[in-house]
Amino acid sequence: MKILVVTPRYAISGVPLAQARFAAALAERGHDVTFMVGNCDADLTVPAAPGVTTLVLGARQVRGMIAPLVRHLRRAQPEVVFSAEDHLNCIVLAAALLAGSKARISGSSRVTPFDTYSSKPFNKRWVLKQAMRALAPRAQALTCVSQDMVAQYRTLFPRMGHVCVYNIVDSPAARARMGEPVEDPWFADGLPPPIVAAGSLAPWKGFADLIRAIPLVPDARLLILGEGPERGALEALVAGLGLAERVRLPGRVDNPLRYFARARVSALSSHVEGMPNVLVEAMMCGCTPVATDCPTGPRELLQGGRYGYLAKVGDPESIAAALREALARPIAPEMLAEAVQPFEQTRVIRRHFELLGLAEH
């Protein structure tokens, strides 16, 4: 089957990375896959995957993708298109109409609609809302990455029929990456492994709250993997609290799974999420998760505390209490394996094709 997977920008984390993994998984199953990327971070290249043709457009804004999309749909005539993020979903649907494409289209929403759309007339988010209402009938499936997000979208768009389909997290390729070696002194000094967190060093990730929690967790060390605009502020906070020996920010890593596989506890301190893949990755690696009870995703993933420990958003004391609980009473491996099942590659792909009304082959 000829399939087009589209993402607005390639980065090493978040939605674009999930789309890249999805494209690779489809190719592994024998499909003819093209992965179209609007643009790519300057210091990155889109990784090659067997069976995937990659097209990087160099479009600085999503609207710059419409003409290349129209040309591709007319020339390649894919049978299925998967897109992600609401702005791009609108562009893909418009391009399909302009191209006269017969492709079946699945558009995935990844962030809360309350941050994407507006009811205030004539601003950009209001225009996007009207465009989505007009173009949505062209889609065969509209999905969200969490049940909580489905409820939010149905509040704004009650007739569109959004449904939940999780991201692929558990795949043979991911399992293989868990076994890669880690060359870090904190995993080789004979002391208990550090608590591991990963994500963009951005304000909404709440890493400052997590750092402030560490003095309240006796003997704990914290490793925060990632890069971003808050690095300077977070390093200053670590220094100001005298935590240089207990908190490190080693920067961006290309495979956080190998770190989670050697840790006992993972931490997610976000103020807001869509569906945090990193939380599922940590559980897949056997890490007991601690997560703030932010909208959306953590409570749903952890089933209210069945599969991990929830803490209050923006509350270092609550985060510290949850970390102490996780270290003292880790979640059993069989429970973590149960939590990850909905994110298994075959199950996710089968659900996507069911929603499109297609047999996969």
Residue 122 predicted with pLDDT over 80? yes
pLDDT in tens, 169-228: 999 989 999 999 999 999 998 899 999 999 999 999 999 999 999 999 999 999 999 999
Residue 42 predicted with pLDDT over 80? no
pLDDT at 111: 85
What count of residues does the chain have? Answer: 361
Q: Which residue has the higher pLDDT, 43 or 55?
A: 55
Does the N-terminal peptide bond of residue 296 adopt cis geometry, omega within 30 degrees of 0? Answer: yes
Mean pLDDT of the 5-21 span: 76
Q: Kindly state the tokens that stand for 264.
A: 């006992």
Alpha-helical regions (H) of the chain = 14-28, 66-76, 86-99, 124-135, 147-156, 172-178, 207-213, 231-240, 257-260, 277-284, 298-301, 316-328, 333-340, 345-355
pLDDT in tens, 56-86: 898 889 999 999 999 999 999 999 999 999 9
Q: Is 187 exposed, middle or buried (0-12, 13-18, 19+ CB in 10 A)?
A: middle
Residue 285 gets which letter from DSSP? T
> Left if phi > 0, otherwise alpha if psi is -120 to 50, otherwise beta: which for 128?
alpha
